[in-house]
Structure formats: structure tokens, C-alpha cells
Structure 1
Amino acid sequence: MAAAEQEQQQQQFYLLLGNLLSPDNTVRKQAEETYETIPGQSKITFLLQAIRNAAAAEEARQMAAVLLRRLLSSAFEEVYPALSPDVQTAIKSELLLIIQMETQSSMRKKICDIVAELARNLIDEDGNNQWPEGLKFLFDSVTCNAVGQMATDFAPGFQKKFHEKVIAALLQTMEDQGNQRVQAHAAAALINFTEDCPKSLLIPYLDNLVKHLHSTMVIKLQELIQKGTKLVLEQVVTSIASVADTAEEKFVPYYDLFMPSLKHIVENAVQKELRLLRGKTIECISLIGLAVGKEKFMLDASDVMQLLLKTQTDFSDLEDDDPQISYMISAWARMCKILGKEFQQYLPVVMGPLMKTASIKPEVALLDTQDMENMSDDDGWEFVNLGDQQSFGIKTAGLEEKATACQMLVCYAKELKEGFVEYTEQVVKLMVPLVRGPEYLTQMWHFMCDALIKAIGTEPDSDVLSEIMHSFAKCVEVMGDGCLNNEHFEELGGILKGKLEEHFKNQELRQVKRQDEDYDEQVEESLQDEDDSDVYILTKVSDILHSIFSSYQEKVLLWFEQLLPLIVNLICPHRPWPDRQWGLCIFDDIVEHCSPSSFKYAEYFLRPMLQSICDNSPEVRQAAAYGVGVMAQFGAESYRPFCTEALPLLVRVIQSPDAKTKENVNATENCISAVGKIMKFKPDCVNVEEVLPHWLSWLPLHEDKEEAVHTFNYLCDLIESNNTIVLGHNNANLPRIFSIIADGEIHEAIKHEDPCTKRLANVVRQVQTSGGLWTECISQLSADQQAAIQELLNSA
């Protein structure tokens, strides 16, 4: 593009930024519509130039920074991966250059936020960092919010890879006595980091962490007394609680260092403006007590109880929104866990406020849009748009406390057993109406269902439409069988049919536009955006069908037949890969949830499904492989020959040289899982003895966590039945099995709440009893694998 033309376009973009800030609704709306038509790469280029141009109006630069961050936040997957590697590198370099040149502090913060957003998106789920320079910059400048967010979003992989650097940087920043806000952010980021940090990683830093937290607490306590500043102290107290909660019994040596100061805060921080600090300190004391255990905590238990009782006595004077309430309720439950039966003496004092909180009734209302806008956010209302200018509102203030209070009642009953008997009658009277919750939920659902279905048929904005469709699907999953009546099904069937017909029609129109004489790269980019939007709606059609099949099962197949020709059309070989992917997903759901009746549609989907196992598109391969897995698991005898036919195709995918690359790994893992399901559920259509050694060599699965659980469960079946092929001659394969289990733990393929975890831990414990074999297995593992085995044993 000529420099003059580029300059002119940039000037037009400045004008557009100005219009986006216009107080005139018409001008602003027109500017927003124009902005949306600009292709992704051009948007980034124009926004970066605007941010870099120090001579441009300050408001325009600020607006450009906000828009760029929003673009990277909400549309990263659509925009960034489509850019060439050179352009991606240029953007990253440009951002780091701009930030070093920027002198204006609020603008510099906004650019830091952009760098943080991009850095966050360039860390994958395993914590692998694809932009080391960006992350280094964040650590060097310690953009605490970004580090804290990444610690939450990518836990625990982020902690495992960056613990040394992050902890050092955050502790150093907490020393910045000249900047209270930065100190508070550093302490908040430390909370995020330690909350999800494996205990074994945190322990080596415990001395250093405690030293810094204690010295900061002492300084901030003095500042509170002298100046009344409390922001940093609130965060530091929570940081101490988080470290103690993670460190557990390892916190015992530091107990005496903190407890006197924490008790002092609870005793003296009685002013209204210190309520949050006092609440957080109460939480901290109870978490430390729980961490160090009854023996160590008993010396202070009586004092702490008296302090809490004093607050509890004044409970009726506390305002409904007093932050101490939720902290108090949780603290009492922890004290109950620590003291056990000895807590019974305090029940007469704690039960009154607890029952009062558990009795909170939420307000609900149906409002028109104007009324909704008049109600301020501060009132604690949340709204769901029902279309036709109406919204359903629920006042959420107090609901979290209500839920906590109900959980605490469960805790008291569990811990105190017969000691709780005196309160059972009043608790039952309170809880029985709450158990009628499903009735209340059903009423709310009937209230919303018609409007949601109508909105799916009429909503013109595709972004809003996709949200409504997603919400509807989730609601049907929650409400289950019976939540839709015949009229609902009839209306919904017509709407979904219309969406699918529109999908095909739009694809044809785009093909016509590609033949037009005005067709160029810009037009193609616009057509791609339209296509992405269409495909996203298709995914929501699939979501809705998934929720209906999983709730209603084969009862709904007759209704589905009006859509069948359109879904069959989706999986035709000539269709684009997203069509085939989602079409297969719909048939997968039918096999999984509607078998054995599903086989009557086999003529439509079985051949395409088998042919798709080796498709060029990994997404299509994954959908097909998953389909074979559910065919083996849920399909009747009729599916048996097709499982036999699928096996060599699955193996071909697994053994291809690029099977484990990032783009292929999910499809490959679904193939591995499908082979396992065929052996487990249809063993007579495969030579299990021949396939098992190969299957074992492909484990564990790292990426697809749901399929990983299937493979680990089958592995447990085989080990528990003393399968000689899996265990090997004289248990020769056990070191390899230990390695598989350890890697599964490292990659979080083993979910600790899943029953499979206990089975795997039992396998390990059985070997533990046989000394020589245990030593042989453990000695062949890396240090990380050995730590993972220990973590598994600790968790199950």
C-alpha cells in the first residue's frame, strides 16, 4: 500500500476513534458499526499506530489501547493465529518498544495490560510460554494483576514452571514501601499463586515467604495505627492465610510469629472502616488453626473463641452487608473442625446468626428494560434478557452467605453428630422448604423457557444469539427430562431446522460472492468472518441437541427425524470440515444417549464416520474416533462388525509420524481411547492379547482429560485382574506402569475427585508393600515422576 494511502487510512481511523467517544448516540453507533467491519489484522495495525503516536489526542490513544486489549481478550483465537508469524513477531516487538518509550503513567499501565493479555493468551494449558520476552518484561516490571491472573488461569502448570521467578519478583515488589497500591497488588497476586500451588513446590520458599510477609505485616500494622492505611494489610493477612492453608503442618514453626499480631488486630480493629480487615483476619486465624492442628492451636483456642464470641454477641447489630458475616460463619465451621466435640458448648451462641443467614430469601422480579436500567448495579441485582424488552432479575446479595451458612450447618452436623441433636428439628424445618428448591427452579424455568425459545428464533445479533442458545442448552441439561412440553419441541424443531437451512444457504451465497469481479483479499477476510460466525451458531445447535439427547434419550428420536436430512447433509464428504465435525458430533450423541435405537440411523452415518477416522482435518478425526468409542461402549451388538473395521484405521492414525503434534494430539488421544473401549466393551471383535502391548505403549493421555479417565479405568481393570500381558512376566512391566501413572498425575490427567484416583493409588500402595519391587519401580522414575507418585498417594 502506498505511504500516502496508508497515511490517509490512519487519519480516517483517528476520526473513527473520536466518533467512538462521541456523546451523540447516532454518531457513536455508526462508528461502532464501521469499526466492526475493519478486518482483524488492519485493526491491530491501526490501533498500534494510534497508541504509538504521541502527537495524537490523549483520548484517542487511550481508546485505542482499550480497544486493542479488548480485541486480544475477546477475539484472540479468531484474529491472532490467522496472522503470519512475521506479523505476530512484529506486533510483540512493537508492544515492548512502545512501552519503553511511553512516559505518561496511565497510558503505560494500559499498554502493560495489553502486554499482559497477549502474554496470557500465549501460555498454553501446560504452562508452555510462547512469548518469553513478554513474560520476562512482566516479571521485570512485575505487572502483578497479570501474574496473578495467569497463576489462576494456568494453575498448577504456571506454578510448576515459574515458581522461582514469580515468588522472588512478587516478594521484591511487596517491599516497595513507597507505593501502597503496587504492594497490595503484589500481595493479591501472591494469594492467587499460593492458592493453587502444589505444597511440595511451596515448602522450599516457606522461610523466605514467612520472613517477607511478617516484616510487611509489622510495618503495615504500624502504618494502620499511625496513618489509618489498611489496603496492603488486608491483602497481606489473606496472603498469610493462603500460605498457611497450602503449607499445612509445615506452618507450625511460624505459628508463634503471627498469632499474637493477628489476635491484636481482631481485638482492636473495631471501627466500621476496618470491618473487612477484621473479617479477613478472623479467616486467617481459623485457617492457620486448621493448618497447624488442634495440639498447636489449643494454647490460643480459648482466647480466639472469646474474641469470636464477642463479635457473635454483637451479631444482631451488624448490618446485612457487613463483610465480617461471611468470614465469621466460615471461621466457626473451621473452629468446629479443629475442636471437634469440644465445640458443642458454643452452639447456643453460633446457631442463631447461622440460621438467620441460612433463611435469607432472594427477591425476584420481571422488569421491562427501562426499569432494569434504572436499577443501579449497587443494588446487587443480576438480570437475564428475555427478549421483547423484558428482563428477569434476581437479587444476588446475600445468596452466597446463604449457601455458605447451609454448608456450615452440614459441617456442624457431621462433626458433632449426637451433639447436634438439639438443633435438628429447627434445621429440618428450615431445610425442607429449601429441598423444595426444584419446584422453585421449575417455576423459574417455566417463566423463562418460552421467552428463550422465542429469542433463539428472533435474535438478529449472532453474538447474543449464541449466548442465548448456550444458556438454553445448559438449562435443559440442568432441568432434564420433562422440562420441555410438546409445544416447546414443535417450536424448537422449526427454529433449529431454520438455522440449519440458513447455514447451508449462507455458504452458497459466500461461494457466489467468491466468483464476483470485486472479490479480493479483503472480501475473503470478511467472508471468513461471516463463516466463523455461522459455524459458531452451528456449534450451539449441536449443544442444544446434545442437551436434549442426554436428557430425553431415545424418546426424542422421532422429533429429531425432521432435522435428520440436514444433519446427514452436514457430513457429506464435500462439505467444509467444521460441518463434518459438528455433524459427526451430533451422531456421536445419538449413539451415546439413544442406543440401541440409534442403529436405525446407521445407514446415514456409519460409513461417513469410519471414512472420517483418517480425515485430513484433526477435528473431524477426533469426532469420528469419539464416535467409534461410544459405539463400542454404548452401541448394541449390531455395531460389533463396525468396531472390528474401525480398529486398523484407528491404529493407522495413532502410529502416523505427526500423531502427537499440537494440532493432532487430541484426535490421536481419542483414537487411543477408542481402541481401549473396543477392547473393554467389545473384546470379542479384536485380538486383545495382540493389541494390548501396543495400547499400553501409547499411554498416558495428556490433553483430553475425559478420555484419559476412561483409559486409566481400563488400565486399573487390567491390573486388578492380574492381566499377565499388562503386568509382564514377573511383573516386569510395573516400572512402565508407574511411569504412566506418574505422567498422568503430572499432566493432571488424573482428577483427584474421580474414583479412578483411589484405584491408581491402591495399585501403587500394593507395590509399596513389596520392598524390592517398589525400589525397582521408583528408581526408574525421574525426580518429577517420583514427586507425582507421592502427590497421588497424598491425595487419595
Structure 2
Amino acid sequence: LAAMAEQQQFHLLLGNLMSPDNSVRKQSEEMYDNISGQTKITFLLQAVRDASAAEEVRQMAAVLLRRLLSSSFDETYPHLSPDMQTAIKTELLVGIQTETSPSIRKKVCDIAAELSRNFIDDEGNNQWPEVIPESVTLLAMLLDRWPQTLHPPSRKSFTIRYLGSIVISSLLQTMEDQSNPRVQAHAAAALINFTEDCPKSLLIPYLDNLVQHLHVIMVAKLQELIQKGTKLVLEQVVTSIASVADTAEEKFVPYYDLFMPSLKHIVENAVQKELRLLRGKTIECISLIGLAVGKEKFMPDAAAVMQLLLKTQTDFNDLEDDDPQISYMISAWARMCKILGNEFQQYLPVVMGPLMKTASIKPEVALLDTQDMENMSEDDGWEFVNLGDQQSFGIKTAGLEEKATACQMLVCYAKELKEGFVDYTEQVVKLMVPLLKFYFHDDILSGSAESMPLLLECARVRGPEYLTQMWHFMCDALIKAIGTEPDSDVLSEIMHSFAKCIELMGDGCLNNEHFDELGGILKGKLEEHFKNQEVRQAKRQDEDYDEQVEETLQDEDDNDVYILTKVSDILHSVFSSYKEKVLPWFEQLLQLVVNLIGPHRPWPDRQWGLCIFDDVVEHCSPSSFKYAEYFLQPMLQSLCDPSPEVRQAAAYGVGVMAQFGGENYTPFCREAIPLLVGVIQAADSKSKENINATENCVSAIGKVMKYRPECVNVNEILPHWLSWLPLNEDKEEAVHTFNFLCDLIESNNPIVLGPENTNLPKIFLIIADGVANESVKREDGCSKRLANVIRQVQVSGGLWTECVSTLNETQQKAIQDLLNTA
């Protein structure tokens, strides 16, 4: 009782430390400072773990305890009794496992992380070896639990900050501790979480050590399975191997032969019912390794692996609905499809039955009043959406993840196999279109949207009538989904897919009703965009405004801009399909797009507003000139904008005006030239953030010289333009510049070739760099033209030698590749 009274007094003290009354707070601080370190730790830990205490009191205790361990660790912790030290560690671990308040759990993790950091000295030696198993368990818990409460970037930075070479060593050391399988499994779980979040560049230095240890552990655990039947750690180790391979990609090739025989052995022999999870995880591991190392390395084993998968697949009818192998098999087949490409088509008859069955799972749903809902626990696998007026819609979540995985795999087959998937397009489209209204699982909804243009592409081979029927089946549902989907991530996927479909189907794919509905929706999206910006600006004036609020507002802003990019995508597809016929329809949106490019709008608004007008000019000229008063001057001013994204959109606009706009745009093209040159010649024009805008300026000048030579002194600017080539970042604009270069060479332009062809070594250099950087692709028409230029020089021995001698080894190989393929 006395201890309880003391603890209550301490709670009161913590509350007073937060008092707005200065005198109360100062008095409490003095009392707190007079408490001994050991007593402080005891009381603070009890306060943090006391679920009956006020949340703000617990939070204050957590902050103070972490500060104590951070600033006074050496003065306090080593002087605690061993029992007290063990109690602290135990309490923290229990707190991480059982704490229900996310904010308190996060703070408990903070304390535990601070404590574990202090167990390692400056040289990386572990001064508390007896707590490694517990700290590994802690790491597993931290990685499994805390990051789920964080924003994904925070999760990644957390993982990288707390897990370096020292902790990897500890994890591997603990995984080899045969005496404690539970901690071994925790260590493997922590390693899986680490490698999943770890950038490839960070993993590579540890890869050899990591892989060799994993192999030793796997062999030992495989023996243990055979001798004792224990499988938990082996399951985790197999998943660890898969995760490492997935992150390491081609760097895993040297270790392939170390693992594949054992993994195939597990799949062949782990046939008992209790080993089905191990078998499923091993199937996943084999397919991930195959994808990581690539077709060439994997092919010698591919046939045997396919036979193993086929055998499992043919036994599918005997598998129970909840067999964990099913979802692993479905994902593995899709990875095999990515590896084998068209060769996979032969397996579709075996694969598609179970896949369609899983994708067609119909979850149990119910419409409930509030009273009924309270009697049904979410722990029983139900999720609820409140419909207002005392009603809720419930859905049983069993099978939803499997359904989502299956939908993603159907997307994968359509993407990889194209016309090879045509026999299944009808049944898949009939499954997918209704799922555009499946609001209970974002991945299912996104998968259904993503599949639409891919299925159209597959169906093309059957001819226009079949294709049009399929499009009519999906069109209305897609438009309605754009109008009703509340989640911005899913909405952007639906809008992107709709735009792709319009591009595939082309002119005539939308009727008047579609245009009316689509116009109203896009108008609403743009109006909402401006309204949301106003609301966010108002929030920045609130008295509650701080850094945390700003972070939330920035996230909202990013989501809004992303939807704006999709509005631009849809308009692009409509303009490119319908040309100037669509301009009367566009006029309902015109003023809103003009608002986007106002001088005081945020730069993403101006960027995407200019992109929309770029499309108007490119696809609707010469009719586009009737809107010139709205965008010409803003576009000209934007060539000097501080934002490179805005400069790039404006420069592209100048290029399409020259190419497509007609004579009306001539004065503007003339006025733009010195501004474009200014951007190119700026000191930092080649920096990473500026290079794309700069290359668009180079391309725009090339287009003006080619299509509107009256706007510029071609002879004066051509030597400069040649010195700016090749374009290495913007591949689409690079094709334009190489085609114009071919025009100039083929017409024997004296400025480009130079007196007595002295510029040819420089031209060889430009072509070689273009090929080496993949700015020239063999499917581009200009690759044949460039190859012909090279061949013409090849027959002139002395000139050929001179041109080739200036090239380095990579450039010479690029020239040879061009001659061999074009």
C-alpha cells in the first residue's frame, strides 16, 4: 500500500511537470531532481506500464525515462542491481508485445532502442553478451510492430538507422544458437524485415557474410527437420534467403548453386500435411531467386522447377481451401511467367483454373444495425464500414488477401503474355469489371483497374469487333469509378488505366454520354483541387499550426498533385485520339486550366497546366491558336521559371508549336530562341535537377530550325546546337534530335560536316554516345539512318580510321553494335 501511495504521488508529480503554472512546474522540477536515479527509473518504468494512468502522464514518464538512459546511462544503469536490470529489459519487451496504445508503444520502443544502443561500445564490441537474444527479440518486435505505426519513409529510416553491420552480426550469431529455437526464429524474422526495407547498395557489403551464414544455418536446420521434425526456424530461414535474393538481384548469382539443390530437395520431399507452409515458402523462395538471378542462370533448373510446380498444381484438387501452399503457388507461377516470357503460355491451361477460383472468392457480407455490429467482433475476422443512420456494412476478411494476390497475378499474365493470353480475356474481364466497385480491399480494386488496358492489348489479336465489345463492357464502369472512388491512390490507378484505354481504342471510343459524364467529373476534380489548396492555406494560419500539421498538409498536397497528373493523362489521351474535334468539349475546363498556370500558383500547378496546353497545341493545331491569348505569354515567361519542371513543360511547348502549330506561332518561336539558349548556357544547366529541362530546350531549338527556319539564323546557331548533343536523359526528345541530325548529314550540310568533313569525328562521338546511352534504339527508324552514315564513312579508309581512333572502347563497341543491328 505504501508503494502504491508513493507511485500515485509520483504520477501527481509527473502531471505537475506539465502544469501551465510556472511556480507549480518549477517546484515539481526541483522535487524530481532530488529523487535518486534508481528510484526514478523504477517509478518512471511503472508509470509507463500503468495502463490505468492518464495517457499524458505515461507519455511524460516515457520521455523522461528515455532522456535518463540517453544522458545519464553510465551514472545510473550500471549501478542498478542485476534483478533490476533484468526487470527493466523484461518490462520493455512485454510492453512492446502487449501495449495497446500506439503512441505509448512507440515510446516504449524508443526507450528499448536507446537501452540496446548503450549495450554496444564505440568499437562495436557487445558489452552485454547475455542480452543479445533479448535484444534480437526486441529488434524483431521493433521491426514487426513499431514501424507499422510509422509513415513508410520513417520506417525505412528507422530500419537503416538501427541496423548496421553490428546488428547483422548479432542476428546471424543468434540464428546459429541451436539451444534457443524461439530466439532463432525471432532473429530470422528481424533479418527478413531488414532485408525487405534495405536498399540494395546497403546490403551488398554484407552479402557474402550474410549468405554464407544463412547456408550453414539452412543445412543444419534441414538436418534437424529430418531427425527431429522441427520446422519453425527452417521456415523463417528459407524466407530470409528469399528476401536477401529479392533485394540483391543479380548480385545473388554467385550463390545460386549453393542454395538451389537444397531448396528443390525440400519441395520434392516436404509432402506431409504439417510441412505444407514450409513447402509453400520454399516454392516462393525458388521463384524469387529465379527472378533475381535472371533467365540465363535459372534456365538449367527451370524445367525441373516447373515439373515440381506442375505436380503440386495437379494435386490442387486435393488441397484444402485454407492450404497455405495455394497463395505461394499462385505468386510463384506469376514469377515463372516473368522469367520464361512467351514460353510460359503452354502452362496456362494448368494454372488458370485454380487462379480464377481464388480470384473469384466471394467474401461473406452483411448489412447490420449498430446493435448487431456490436455483437460481432472484428477479432472474428469482420470489418465494418459505417453507412450512417444506425447501419453498417460488414465483410468477412477471410480469403481477401488470397483474392487480391490472384488478381495481381492475372494482371501479371496479361502484361507478360499479351496476345498469348487472349483465350482467357473474356472470363478475366467478366471477373475484373465488377471488382471496380470492390471498396473493401484497395489492392483488389487497383488490380482490376490496372488489368483493363492490358486485357484490351491482349484482345487486339482477335480483331476490332471483339476489341470494341470488350471496351463497351468496361467503359461505363471505369468512368463511374473515377467519379466515385474516394481513395486517392486507387483513384489515380483507375484514371491512369482509363487514359491508357482511350489511347489504345482511339477516335470514336467515347459517345456523347461518356463525354458529358467525363467532362463533369474532370471539372469537379479541378475545382476540388483549388478548393483543397484554399483549405490547406487556411490551416496554415490556425493557431494549432506546427511542423507536424505542415507534414500532413504536404502529404495532402502531394496526393492532390498526383490526381492532377492523372487529369492531365486523361486529357492527353482524349486530345491525341480525337484531335481538334474535342476542343468544344474542352472549353468547359478551359478557365480552370488557365487558373493552373497563373503566376502565383504552386509550381506543380503551372507544370501540369502547361502540359495540358502543350497537348492542345500538339494535337489540335492549327485550331489551338484561338486559345493562344490564354497561354502564350505564361509559356514564354515560364522558360525562365526557377522550377526546372515548369521550364521543361514550357520548352516542350515551344517545340510542338514549331512542329505542329502553323504560321501563327512564328513570332512566338522567334521570341523564344534567346530564352532557350539562355537556359542551355546557364552555369548549372547540366546538373541532375536541371538536365531534363535543358535537353528539352536543345530539342526545341532543333525543332524550330527544322520546321520554322525563318524564325532563327540557322547557320549561326547550328554549330552551337551540335555542341549540345547528344541528349542522354530525355530519350523521346533524343530521337527528334537524331532525326534532324540525319536530315542535315544526308543533305550534306556544310556547317554540320565542316570543311572537308572535319566534323565527322565529332559526329561519330555523338552517335556512339547516343547508342551507348540507349538514346538510339534499334527499333527507331533513325538507327538505320545513322548506321548508313557510318557505313558511308567506312568505305573511306583514312577518314574511318581517323573517326574511330577518337573513340574509347565503349564508344567503339557502340558503333559496332549499331552496324550489326541496324
Aligned to 2:448: none
Following the alignment from structure 2 to structure 1, what is the Cα–Cα distance between the partners of residues 193 and 655?
42
Unaligned runs of 5+ in 2: 1-16, 19-43, 45-57, 67-89, 118-133, 175-182, 223-237, 272-278, 315-329, 366-394, 424-457
Higher-Rg member (1/2): 2
Q: Aligned residue pairs: how many?
A: 610
2:534 to 508, 529, 541: 508
Equivalent pair of 1:233/1:277 in contact (CA under 8 Å): no
Query: Residues 259-278 of structure 1: CA distance to partner in whole angstroms, max 9, x if unpaired?
Result: xxx9xx98xx7997485899
1:193 to 237, 244, 250: 250
Residue identity in the other structure for 1:8: A
Shift of 1:536: 1.3
2:152 to 71, 76, 86: 71
Shift of 1:583: 0.5
Unaligned runs of 5+ in 1: 81-87, 122-130, 144-168, 198-208, 247-257, 280-319, 335-349, 385-392, 408-431
1:472 to 485, 494, 498: 498
Q: Which moved more, 1:103-112 or 1:506-515?
A: 103-112
Give yes or no for the alignment of 1:532 onto 2:558. yes
1:448 to 466, 474, 492: 474
Query: Residues 723-757 of structure 1: CA distance to partner in whole angstroms, max 9, x if unpaired?
Result: 22111112211211122122222322222322222
Aligned to 1:790: 816
1:626 to 612, 629, 652: 652
Q: Structure 1's 510 and 721: CA in aligned 2 closer, same or farther, altered over 3 A?
A: same
2:571 to 529, 532, 545: 545
Shift of 1:708: 1.2
Equivalent pair of 1:622/1:671 in contact (CA under 8 Å): yes
Aligned to 1:282: none
Following the alignment from structure 2 to structure 1, what is the Cα–Cα distance between the partners of residues 293 and 645?
45
Q: Structure 1's 451 and 237: CA in aligned 2 closer, same or farther, altered over 3 A?
A: closer
Following the alignment from structure 2 to structure 1, what is the Cα–Cα distance between the partners of residues 306 and 136?
49
**Secondary structure of 1:460 counterpart:** coil
Shift of 1:621: 0.4
Query: Residues 152-204 of structure 1: CA distance to partner in whole angstroms, max 9, x if unpaired?
Result: xxxxxxxxxxxxxxxxx99x989997799599869977996399x9xxxxxxx
Shift of 1:762: 2.5
Following the alignment from structure 1 to structure 2, what is the Cα–Cα distance between the partners of residues 65 and 173?
30
Residue identity in the other structure for 2:144: M
TM-score by length of 1: 0.62
Aligned to 2:757: 731
Matches within 5 A, 1:309-324: none
Aligned to 1:757: 783
Identify the structure with bigger relative contact order (alpha carbons < 8 Å, sequence gap 6+): 1
Following the alignment from structure 1 to structure 2, what is the Cα–Cα distance between the partners of residues 558 and 226?
68
Following the alignment from structure 2 to structure 1, what is the Cα–Cα distance between the partners of residues 662 and 674?
21
1:137 to 197, 205, 229: 205
Equivalent pair of 1:173/1:186 in contact (CA under 8 Å): no
Shift of 1:529: 1.6
Q: Structure 1's 532 and 110: CA in aligned 2 closer, same or farther, altered over 3 A?
A: farther
Residue identity in the other structure for 2:680: I
Aligned to 1:341: none
Matches within 5 A, 1:30-41: none
Following the alignment from structure 1 to structure 2, what is the Cα–Cα distance between the partners of residues 518 and 190?
42
2:707 to 681, 694, 706: 681
Matches within 5 A, 1:184-583: 193=250, 242-243=295-296, 273=308, 370=364, 403-404=419-420, 435-583=461-609
Q: Which moved more, 1:679-688 or 1:608-617?
A: 679-688
Q: Structure 1's 9 and 768: CA in aligned 2 closer, same or farther, altered over 3 A?
A: farther
TM-score by length of 2: 0.61
Give yes or no for the alignment of 1:8 onto 2:65. no
Aligned to 1:700: 726
Q: Structure 1's 141 and 568: CA in aligned 2 closer, same or farther, altered over 3 A?
A: farther
Shift of 1:18: 11
Following the alignment from structure 1 to structure 2, what is the Cα–Cα distance between the partners of residues 194 and 590?
47
Equivalent pair of 1:539/1:582 in contact (CA under 8 Å): yes
Following the alignment from structure 2 to structure 1, what is the Cα–Cα distance between the partners of residues 295 and 671?
54
Query: Residues 10-36 of structure 1: CA distance to partner in whole angstroms, max 9, x if unpaired?
Result: 999x99x999999xxxx99x97xx99x
Shift of 1:795: 3.3
Q: Which moved more, 1:764-773 or 1:222-231?
A: 222-231
Following the alignment from structure 1 to structure 2, what is the Cα–Cα distance between the partners of residues 780 and 526?
55
Matches within 5 A, 1:39-188: 54=135, 60-64=141-145, 67=148, 71-72=152-153, 92=161, 95-96=164-165, 98-102=167-171, 103=174, 116=195, 120=199, 134-141=202-209
Query: Residues 409-433 of structure 1: CA distance to partner in whole angstroms, max 9, x if unpaired?
Result: xxxxxxxxxxxxxxxxxxxxxxx99
Following the alignment from structure 1 to structure 2, what is the Cα–Cα distance between the partners of residues 712 and 44?
57
**Secondary structure of 1:661 counterpart:** coil
Residue identity in the other structure for 1:61: L
Shift of 1:458: 2.4
- Over aligned residue pairs, what C-alpha RMSD do you find? 5.7
Query: Residues 66-121 of structure 1: CA distance to partner in whole angstroms, max 9, x if unpaired?
Result: 6499824xxx9xx99xxxxxxx7995576555434444555555655666566648
Q: Which moved more, 1:557-566 or 1:465-474?
A: 465-474
Shift of 1:43: 14
Following the alignment from structure 1 to structure 2, what is the Cα–Cα distance between the partners of residues 575 and 190?
41
Shift of 1:790: 2.7
Q: Which moved more, 1:94-103 or 1:729-738?
A: 94-103
Following the alignment from structure 1 to structure 2, what is the Cα–Cα distance between the partners of residues 55 and 186?
18
Equivalent pair of 1:362/1:395 in contact (CA under 8 Å): no
**Secondary structure of 2:701 counterpart:** helix
Q: Which moved more, 1:50-59 or 1:518-527?
A: 50-59
Following the alignment from structure 2 to structure 1, what is the Cα–Cα distance between the partners of residues 774 and 704?
25
Q: Structure 1's 108 and 663: CA in aligned 2 closer, same or farther, altered over 3 A?
A: farther
Give yes or no for the alignment of 1:669 onto 2:695. yes
Residue identity in the other structure for 2:664: S
Q: Structure 1's 135 and 332: CA in aligned 2 closer, same or farther, altered over 3 A?
A: closer
Query: Residues 598-646 of structure 1: CA distance to partner in whole angstroms, max 9, x if unpaired?
Result: 1110000010001000100111001101111111111111111111111
Shift of 1:521: 1.8
